Structure 1
């Protein structure tokens, strides 16, 4: 009884080559292998390497031109040589035509439009326009800074009117200015008039103010601290509340100015002839943009309501600051108060250049 043949374990190099060849085949690579004669086998003549293709069978002839030779990788050990040939990814099978890449249509690029610039009165430049517009109506000049020293009784029943926007002794805002000035300069020359201003509030009286208040005001107005007090009271009591409400109503610069000018003349409040009452009357006629309304239509309604309030006051029968100023800008569609601005007040012409 013969012993069963002994099984020979493959050498590590053969295993590694087999793995490499299998990986190459799995990747679509062509593999050519040859076996060399063992070095220990004696032979009188060299044994030619045996091809893995059928012996004696020549390659089939083809009319297809030979493709460009692909790169090869050869791995050799004493008994096996494996040649790995990469297949061209663009090569088409014999007798076929390689597909053309699909044509792509260029996508039209639509540029993103630049955001529309909508200034408002919180912008220092537009705030300056607002002060010039108010000054043309309050003081008949665009040089509003020259009006810190202004003071007179204009006969409107509100006592002395003074400063950059017409603070009045009879309405209490002039006393507010003097309190701010006192806080900044406790020993100023106007402190002594605070008790008298408290007594005349709500009247046209000059009691306790004459005969020196006018001259003392004009001298003190050269003090930057009094000028700052006027600026602060204007912003706190008139400008900031008016612009804030206008923004809440969705209004741009023209609507913000319309609110501010009305606040300066009529003051805050809810009665029909104050700013709050005028706005309430406008809301009955039109919706502001914040409520889905048309901005121009709403501003027109506000100007109508304000004009009606002015005509109810005998001291304010001239409505040119509306008719030949704000309404001119509105009719031109200039909701952003973009310069140049041209208007008339009390028959005088004014221009803010571009």
Structure 2
């Protein structure tokens, strides 16, 4: 499941502002402008299926020490971070609310699924590291459910609704290309939505105090460096985040190379392990 002892599964903050952030981003409605030159248009963003696959593999290299993100639907363990169980393709946590929302969504899609009977326990344990009403039976049920394509789709839906789409839409609103969109997405995966200093919104606000976004007339590379600086500072506030290689030897490598559209070939390291994506998936 984890090929390296340095796997991440970093804790995130409770999703207390997740839906509010998503609504605010979607309400903004701004996007990268189409190039005015005849016949030219904005390059494919991170929501292009090929670039999205790259994003999933990049995150998985840091979260799972593997590019095979689809193997993580069945992942579940308590990593001792005070947030209960961490599970699935994005690290849904029983203590922070997103696992509860995921299982509710799955049950809406498929009543009587293997996890449906655990909804009362997930509601009770939300906000704590408790396993009350869950335990080994829940872990087994999760792994069974992970074979169900409906549950896999439910995980994809929650990932997109709470993390991927809000991050990409905000990045487009800020005038960022595909790399910037990924930088936002990776940050929201680790730090969670929210406006406190160590959540995604707070990190963005810190960066904007140092540099203007492209939408504000700023230089894209300058702004993204400011964002990564702010993110590193946020990471170092928690012991679980003290390895900043996913910034230093991954995202900053692409940025320093001027690869603002996140085009392969890509070569990077996380936790000292080397990875590459040579062509578009």
Q: Secondary structure at the match of 2:267?
A: strand
Higher RCO (CA < 8 A, seq sep 6+): 2
1:26-37 mapped onto 2 (5 Å cutoff): none
Indicate the residue corresponding to 2:140 in structure 1.
215
- Name whichever structure is richer in helix by fraction: 2
Partner of 1:166: 91
> Is 1:195 aligned to 2:120, yes or no?
yes
- Provide the C-alpha distance between the structure 2 equivalents of 1:279 and 1:191, rounded to a whole number of angstroms: 37
RMSD: 1.3
Unaligned runs of 5+ in 1: 1-111
CA distance in 2, matches of 1:286, 1:160: 38
1:277 to 175, 185, 202: 202
Q: Match of 1:276, SS? A: helix
Instruction: Please give the alpha-carbon distance, in whole angstroms, between the structure 2 residues aligned to 1:225 and 1:332.
Output: 40
What is the rounded CA distance, in whole Å, between the counterparts of 1:198 and 1:304 in structure 2?
A: 37
Q: How many residues align?
A: 243
* 1:329 match: 254
Deviation of the 1:113 alpha carbon: 8.1
1:132-191 Cα distance to aligned partner (Å, 9 max, x none): 111111111111111110111122221111111111111111111101110111111111
Within 2, Cα distance between the matches of 1:116 and 1:196? 50
Say which SS state the counterpart of residue 276 (structure 2) adopts.
Answer: strand
Calculate the TM-score normalised by the size of structure 2.
0.84
Q: Please, what TM-score do these two structures have when normalized by structure 1?
A: 0.67
Equivalent in 183, 188, 193 of residue 268 of structure 1: 193
Residue 160 (structure 2) aligns with: 235
Change (3 A) 1:116 1:186: closer
Unaligned runs of 5+ in 2: 1-36
Q: Please report how far the alpha carbon of residue 115 of structure 1 lies from its aligned counterpart in structure 2 after TM superposition.
A: 3.1
Greater CA radius of gyration, 1 or 2? 1
**Equivalent of 1:259, from 181, 184, 208?**
184
Cα–Cα, structure 1 residues 116 and 182, in superposed 2: closer, same or farther, change >3 Å? closer
Deviations 1:202-233 (A, max 9, x none): 22221221131111100110001100100000
Matched, 1:151 2:76: yes
